[in-house]
Amino acid sequence: MKQLKSDILIPKERYKIINSTVTDLGTNKVCPSVMIVNRSLLNFRQKEAFAWGCQITICLTELLENGLPTKESEAKVNNLQRLIDGKIKESVESPNALFVLKDIHNGICKLYYQVKNTKSAKRILKRLINQNPVDLEWDYEICYDEEWADTEWVWDYFKLPWHTVVKYRPEFYNEHGHYTKDEWTSICDVDKEYDGHKFTLKEYIEVESNYVNFITDLMESSEMEFVAVCRFNLYESISNQIAKDKRFCEINEPLKDLDKTLKKGLRIHRSKIGNYIRACLRELAGISFENRGKGFEFDFGYDYYMHIRSSLPVERLNQIARQNDLFLDPR
């Protein structure tokens, strides 16, 4: 990622190919669609700097029956795109335009950019149209779009589902989704009896560690070094809460100063995440964590329920959970 003099951070382009379908409003025919999305702009926060939406429409020739271009036609489009892209951006270090999306369907290719200086972009595009360097019919439209509303729809493809991770074994849920085993749900339950067995602090720490290990294993599998605090809530200082419960003062000692640095945006390395997770599980703090670049989020609910959103396949999530004696909620 490069930082410009104007403090605008331009992420390096990373692409995702999305195969989908669209319905032709005139014929109600369902047509295949191929999109190439610059996924690095998913969480781009300085949209107002590129406040003009530029939509370039290219009429395709030599189509397949499904409305997508033949290899020869696709090569023409790619040549034109490379030419437009190289000109409209103007500079690698301080670009005047950001490539957002390429969408091909039903005989049409649309290129979407967000532009800073419209006069410069219009001048370049008019010149290219007049020169007609590639034998294709195309035109452009530039409109004010500070919120990038014209391409907002594409980010829906990147929204990941939430999963719930629990310590409760699937075989003890009944057909109505109710957990039937008498089992502890909080650190406050230490020394209480469940199913005729006294629940010990050692057993509690073992399960708590499973949650910590699950998150660190998941981050490692996702090639994540850091997460950031996106939300947090403290009813009172962690040190005050610790002082009130003498039973757990010793194990809580490493957590007592966490809230002194706790703030929105705080970046936490995966090797340091353990104490923050323990503070949440011990109900000393409510914290939500995220890594926007990886589409990763997690937080905690009551009764040892952990909610996560991850780009990893659900099969891999389930595997990591099982390795740590945890489970995806079967309900």
Note the pLDDT tens digit of each residue in 235-285.
788 888 888 888 888 999 998 888 888 988 899 999 999 999 999 999 999
Q: Dihedral (C-alpha) 73, 79, 84, 85: value to the nearest 10 degrees?
A: 120
pLDDT at residue 240, rounded to an integer = 85
pLDDT at residue 27, rounded to an integer = 65
Tell me, yes or no, whether 43 and 191 share the same domain: no
Domain count, the chain: 2
Residue 28: pLDDT band with limits 50, 70, 90: low
Tell me, yes or no, whether 127 and 210 share the same domain: no
**Residue among 52, 48, 124 nearest 88 (CA):** 124
- What is the extent of the structural domain holding 93? 2-157
12 with 1: CB under 8 angstroms?
Answer: yes
Q: Which two tokens stand for residue 303?
A: 């009764």
pLDDT tens track for 57-75: 999 989 998 889 999 999 9
Residue/partner pairs of 188-193 with CB below 8 Å, 24 or more apart: 188/283, 190/247, 190/248
**Residue at which a domain ends, from 138, 157, 176:** 157
pLDDT at residue 300, rounded to an integer = 92
Tell me, yes or no, whether 68 and 40 share the same domain: yes
Query: What is the rounded distance in angstroms from the CA atom of residue 291 to the CA atom of residue 217?
Result: 15
Facing residues of 143 across strands? 53
**Residue among 12, 3, 7, 96 nearest 293 (CA):** 12
Tell me, yes or no, whether 314 and 252 share the same domain: yes
pLDDT at residue 249, rounded to an integer = 87
Tell me, yes or no, whether 13 and 106 share the same domain: yes
pLDDT at residue 3, rounded to an integer = 41
211 with 166: CB under 8 angstroms?
Answer: no
Tell me, yes or no, whether 104 and 206 share the same domain: no
CATH code at 27? 3.30.70
| pLDDT higher than 80, residue 4 | no
Tell me, yes or no, whether 172 and 52 share the same domain: no
In the chain, DSSP assigns E strands to: 2-3, 9-10, 15-23, 30-38, 52-59, 97-105, 108-115, 137-144, 162-166, 193-194, 197-198, 226-233, 267-269, 286-291, 296-300, 306-309, 327-328
pLDDT at residue 25, rounded to an integer = 59
**Residue at which a domain ends, from 157, 181, 214:** 157
Q: What is the DSSP letter of 69?
A: B
Tell me, yes or no, whether 108 and 128 share the same domain: yes
Tell me, yes or no, whether 195 and 304 share the same domain: yes
Least confident of 105-114, 273-282, 311-320: 311-320
- How far out from the chain centre does Cα 312 lie? 11
